[in-house]
Amino acid sequence: GAGVSQTPSNKVTEKGKYVELRCDPISGHTALYWYRQSLGQGPEFLIYFQGTGAADDSGLPNDRFFAVRPEGSVSTLKIQRTERGDSAVYLCASSEHGVTEAFFGQGTRLTVV
């Protein structure tokens, strides 16, 4: 596609449930990033993929968060046993390589009630 695509745009889930957020990067981009953003703050790094592998997952807050990119294109961010504090906008970005400009998708607004 022309840009980074994220689905769903909005997700409301109950505390304790499992959610999956999907990111479809720009075609040909080998690097993919997940961030999350809370109101009034800048994006907070979660994980960076180069190809199929997670090159840096130092931003994942705890073991409830996991992300995969099995074929080096689409990525899924998985959150287990969601907590109200997980509520945020989850942003995905991709870049041609790990050192070039990154472009963001429109984000998924996650609300845990």
Residues that bind another protein (CB under 8 A): 31, 33, 35, 40-45, 48, 50, 55-56, 58-59, 89, 91, 98-99, 101-107
Nearer to another protein, 66 or 103 (CB): 103
Q: Tell me how far, at minimum, the Cβ of 78 lies from another protein, in Å.
A: 20
Q: What angle do CA 10, 96, 79 make, to 5 degrees?
A: 30
Q: Which amino acid appears at position 22 of this protein?
A: R
Q: Tell me how far, at minimum, the Cβ of 43 lies from another protein, in Å.
A: 5
Nearer to another protein, 55 or 113 (CB): 55
Q: Tell me how far, at minimum, the Cβ of 99 lies from another protein, in Å.
A: 6
Q: Tell me how far, at minimum, the Cβ of 106 lies from another protein, in Å.
A: 5
Cis amide linkage into residue 8, ω under 30° from 0: yes
Is 39 exposed, middle or buried (CB count within 10 Å of its CB: 0-12, 13-18, 19+)?
A: exposed
Q: What angle do CA 38, 35, 25 make, to 5 degrees?
A: 135
Nearer to another protein, 105 or 112 (CB): 105
Nearer to another protein, 79 or 91 (CB): 91
Q: How far apart are CA 12 and CA 7, in angstroms?
A: 13
